[in-house]
Structure 1
Amino acid sequence: MHHNQTLQSLRALKLTGMADALEQQHAQPSTHEELGFDQRLALLVDRETTHRNNNKVTRLLLNAKLKLQAYPEDIDYSHPRGLHKSQFAELLGGSWIHQHHNVLITGPTGCGKTYLGCALATQACRHGFSVRYFRTSRLLETLSIAHGDGRFAKLIQQLAKTDVLVMDDWGLEKMTLGQRNDLLEIMEDRHGQRSTLITSQLPVSQWHQSIGDATLADAILDRLLHNSHKIKLKGESMRKTMSKMTESDQSQ
């Protein structure tokens, strides 16, 4: 009876990990009977810590709204696209986020830019950082609408507090003056305070022209390119390569 009351109290206190571990200890007495009180208590605390960390990562991933479920352990380094394992492994370590640096991933269509960006974002969530994914054109459109319905200040504040802002498909559409100003405000808030991850089909050398206004482009890119890590992908589309491999397998 005392055991059941303890379990109920732990769950009422939302100490689910500890409750599960205590149930396991009682269900497997021979495994734990030789352990002292401190050791058994340490196991309960470790289980609770793991449970809370797992819940936090799940919540961060849900809030990130990533386009793809991309996992660092599934990345293909063998494809000849210019992805250097050592450079990417360093980024997966997360020091760029601690240092408030940016990551810029460029390359042709189909070379895996979005997947790599989402994999870095997933790893950031695993490290406990908040992440938010946007397709660049939709983010700028959302900001434009927010000006009209009074949500702009709140939205800008939310973006400023996000540890890693992912902007996918940068530079596909011409920006309006209002969008350039909104983008500058985002970059001003994040410069030296948070990290931004960008993927683009355009090489960085063409970003200035794609923004469309020399003065605003200078201001935006000065903040974005400063302390940035660049990944320049190349080669044939991975989707085309996989399609060719599938066709080859079917013809055998």
Structure 2
Amino acid sequence: MLPNPIPELAPQLKQLRLSGILDSLETRNRQALEGKLAYTEFLAMLIGDEIARRESKKFAMRLRRAQFRTTKTLEQFDFDRIPKLNRQLVHELASGRYLNEKAPVLIVGPSGIGKSHLAQALGHCAVRQGLDVAFTTCAALTQSLNAARATGSYERKLAALARVPLLVIDDYGLKPLRPPADEDLHDLIAERYEQAPIIVTSNLDFDEWDQAFACNRLLASATIDRLRHNAYCLELTGPSYRDPRVPPPSKKAPQDKPGNASK
């Protein structure tokens, strides 16, 4: 019987950082012996295991870097609650259509309707397709840019946000944009315009978006004009996910009828 080479191979595979092969080596070796596989078939299986491990690791890292608030996916999205939503368009977007076009996706609707879920689900799809994604609220985004200005790293921060393959901005217009937040948002949108895709959610109707800019309507017009150019617009209407649950009616104890009182 030939000696078992696995103990000798293990440290070599670790040195080469081929953990995917190391983890499945015994199983694949047994399959090769039982199936009388050719050497090339055995090697192909091992290489496939290593590629799968590396892709899984990259996916997990991209998911962590995205900083989604939840792990909401498109498979979990309840389309039946929003019957007027264009499902075909949503699935086309999930396939990466807007990513290739470097086009914005704008999602509006009342609070609790599922805007953030849908935005994060599309971001999750992009992560699956191998893209780096950054998720943030509009307030947190402008605060981070202002904080970078205070430390002299504003340009570097702005450039980093401009380079992210997909940027998801949640809750646009939830808080009024005052200087320098309005200018910072405009600069970022201008940097990404026709260069990189962006997803924006808002409680405001599309014709109310300029109202988020509290002081400078000219800046609002320039920013929104870039956002809406060639954008895919999704309007969500329906019941809120956050509606309180109505408790079942309490059962009242039967009352004695007149004349039945105990004597």
TM-score by length of 2: 0.87
Cα distance in structure 1, aligned partners of 2:156 and 2:250: 54
What displacement does 1:116 show? 0.9
2-structure distance, mates of 1:95, 1:40: 38
Indicate the residue corresponding to 2:213 in structure 1. Answer: 211
Structure 2 residue runs of 5 or longer lacking an equivalent are 252-263
Aligned partners of 1:60 and 1:131 also within 8 Å: yes
State how far apart, in whole Å, the 1-side matches of 2:12 and 2:100 are. Answer: 38
Structure 1 unaligned residues grouped into runs of 5+ = none
| The one of 51, 69, 73 aligned to 1:71 | 73
Q: CA deviation at 1:46?
A: 1.4
Is 1:61–2:67 an aligned residue pair? no
Is this contact kept in 1: 2:32–2:42, CA < 8 A?
Answer: no
1:65 offset after TM fit, Å?
0.7
**Secondary structure at the counterpart of residue 158 of structure 1:** helix
Determine which structure has the larger helix proportion and give its number.
1
Amino acid at match of 2:230: N
Secondary structure at the residue paired with 2:204? Answer: coil
Partner of 2:25: 22
Q: Residues of 2 paired with 1:232 and 1:20: CA distance?
A: 47
Give the SS at the match of 1:230: strand
Q: TM-score, normalised by structure 1?
A: 0.90
Deviating beyond 3 angstroms after TM superposition, the runs of 4 or more aligned structure 1 residues are 27-31, 247-251
CA offset digits 1:36-67 (Å, max 9, x no partner) = 12211111121111111111110011011111
Q: Which residue of 1 aligns with 2:132?
A: 130
Once residues 93 and 248 of structure 1 are traced to their aligned partners in structure 2, the CA distance between those partners, rounded to angstroms, is 43
79-88 vs 153-162, greater mean Cα deviation: 79-88
The total of aligned residue pairs comes to 247
Distance of 1:209 and 1:114 partners within structure 2: 21
For 2:169 and 2:249, the matched residues in 1 are separated by 36
* CA RMSD in angstroms, aligned pairs only: 2.1
Identity of aligned residues (%): 29
2:159 corresponds to 1:146: no
Deviations 1:15-43 (A, max 9, x none): 11122232221344555x32212211111
Based on CA coordinates, which of the two structures has the bigger radius of gyration? 2
Aligned partners of 1:105 and 1:198 also within 8 Å: yes
Deviates further, 43-52 or 58-67 = 43-52
Between the aligned partners of 2:210 and 2:65, the Cα distance in structure 1 is 31
